[in-house]
Amino acid sequence: MGDSDNVIHDASKHRFAKSINIDGDVSTAFVEYREVNHEVLDFYHTYVPPALRGRGIAEKVMNGAMDTIIKKNQKAYLSCSYLVQHWLPRNPQYSKYIVKILGAL
């Protein structure tokens, strides 16, 4: 569905990450999650290094995360404000895989 190129699932750290190499300097952007149960992951935090912000990297990482969990028949809970306010409105194709959104009734 989305841009999942080079997004790695690091289950030991409970995150999906993308490493970016700029002039030999490698930085990592990621989205962290908690496992609610075997069917639902709570995505609670995104991080992009300051020098890389504003380039759509967090969106690509989350798209990769969603593509991965969809293949595993899992769904997402969004408790990260960035994901709720910015990512989801730009990526409505994932709405049917979201079970709950922070602050939503």
For 50-86, give the DSSP string.
GGGTTSSHHHHHHHHHHHHHHHTT-EEEE--HHIIII
- Helix (H) or strand (E) segment spanning residue 89: helix 88-90
Q: Mean of the pLDDT values across residues 34-56?
A: 95
| Confidence at 24, pLDDT banded by 50, 70, 90 | confident
pTM, full prediction: 0.89
Using a pLDDT cut of 70, give the percent of the chain over it.
Answer: 91
Question: What is the CB neighbour count within 10 angstroms for residue 38?
Answer: 9
Evaluate if residue 76 carries a pLDDT over 90.
yes
Rg (CA), the chain: 13
Residue 55 backbone zone (phi > 0: left; psi -120 to 50: alpha; other: beta): alpha
Q: Write down the pLDDT at residue 105.
A: 39
In contact, 86 and 78? CB cutoff 8 Å: no
Tell me how far apart the alpha carbons of residues 99 and 37 are, in angstroms, rounded to a whole number: 12
Q: Write down the pLDDT at residue 4.
A: 55
Structure tokens at 87: 């990512």
